[in-house]
Amino acid sequence: MRYLTDRKRAVGKGSAHSGAEHHWYMIVSSVALAFMVPTFLYIFGNALGSGYDAALATFQRPFPAILTGLVLVVGLQHFHKGARVMIEDYTQGSTRKLLIMLVIGLSYALTAAGLFALAKIAL
């Protein structure tokens, strides 16, 4: 019997040498999102269509603002890593590289825009 974990046996294998880290990140972020998303959905669903003042009051409170920020950051990291696997499955060469760049850029742009909005609302 070898005293190695399954993860240790997988680290560094494969052409990218970073697949184990990628897979582990997807597990961590999915568990985090599994806890956060239903609560976020409840807050966002109530705020949507409640009118300007009520929506503003909701996202000025610390819990909804922090939770929304976390869902955006973790959700979009989870998205770009997942979308990247899809791109790598179906495309090759320069198309693949450009699409990966696009999806990473898009994720960070949406995260930054969302966090800016939350900061402006809360402060």
Partner 1 sequence: MADENRIQRPLSPFMIGPYYRPQLTSMSSILTRITGNALIVATFAMVWWLLALAAGPEAFATAEWWITSWVGNLVMLLSLWGMWYHYLAGLRHLAFDAGKALDIPTAEKLGWACIYGSVVLTVLTVLLFWI
- By the rule CB under 8 A, 54 interacts with partner 1: no
Cα torsion 123, 107, 38, 42 to 10°: value is 40
Burial of 64 (0-12, 13-18, 19+ CB in 10 A): buried
Among 43, 68, 74, 77, binds partner 1 (CB under 8 A): 68
- By the rule CB under 8 A, 35 interacts with partner 1: no
- By the rule CB under 8 A, 4 interacts with partner 1: no
- By the rule CB under 8 A, 79 interacts with partner 1: yes
- By the rule CB under 8 A, 93 interacts with partner 1: no
Give the three-class secondary structure for 49: coil
Amino acid identity at 33? L
Q: Give the C-alpha separation, 26 to 119, whole Å.
A: 27
Among 32, 36, 37, 104, binds partner 1 (CB under 8 A): 37
Total residues contacting partner 1 by CB under 8 A comes to: 35
Q: Give the C-alpha separation, 53 to 42, whole Å.
A: 18
Q: What does the binding site for partner 1 look like in residue numbers (CB under 8 A)?
A: 23, 27, 30-31, 33-34, 37, 41-42, 44-46, 48-49, 52, 55-56, 59, 68, 72, 75-76, 79, 82-83, 86, 106, 110, 113-114, 116-118, 120-121
